[in-house]
Amino acid sequence: MLSAFLAVLVTTIATMTIAAGLAWWQRPVDPTATQWSTALPMLGGHEPETHAWNRFHIRYYPMALVLMAFEMEMMFMYPWAVVFVEVGYRALVEMGVFLAMLSLGVLYLWREGGLSWQ
């Protein structure tokens, strides 16, 4: 049993050593290597005008909360669909209550005007 773990450990170390060696060797030899100033992720290699940690406008936060609510709904719907056959109507009632609470949140957001873009 220990020899199997040892074989996996030796293989992992050998693979990581080979990968690190190839990456180290490629760097000075690669003719397509770019300078750090042209490898910036935005604006085609130019310096960005604003900092990446600038705050977003407040109107994006309610939309993010709605997105998270629907993502949580989907996260609970898939396991619920599997368990529904075993549990029965109790699971149906629980999911109905859960969806009703989410619907109330969306209706509140709609009433407050959080879904309208200006």
Q: Identify whether 117 is part of a domain.
A: no
The predicted-structure confidence for 55-111, as pLDDT tens digits, reads as follows 777 777 777 877 887 887 788 888 888 888 888 888 889 889 988 988 888 888 788
Reported as a single tens digit per residue, the pLDDT across 2-28 is 788 899 999 999 999 999 998 888 777
pLDDT higher than threshold 60 for residue 37? no
**Cα–Cα distances in angstroms (integers) from residue 53 to residues 34, 48, 56, 117, in the given order:** 26, 12, 9, 24
Which tokens go with 34?
Answer: 């770019």
Q: How far apart are alpha carbons 59 and 16 in whole angstroms?
A: 46
Which pLDDT score is estimated for 55?
Answer: 75
The total domain count for the chain is: 2
Q: Is residue 54 part of a domain?
A: no
Residue 72 lies in a domain: yes
Q: Which domain holds residue 72?
A: 60-112
Q: How far apart are the first and last CA of the chain?
A: 66
**What pLDDT was estimated at residue 50?**
74
Let me know if residue 71 belongs to a domain. Answer: yes
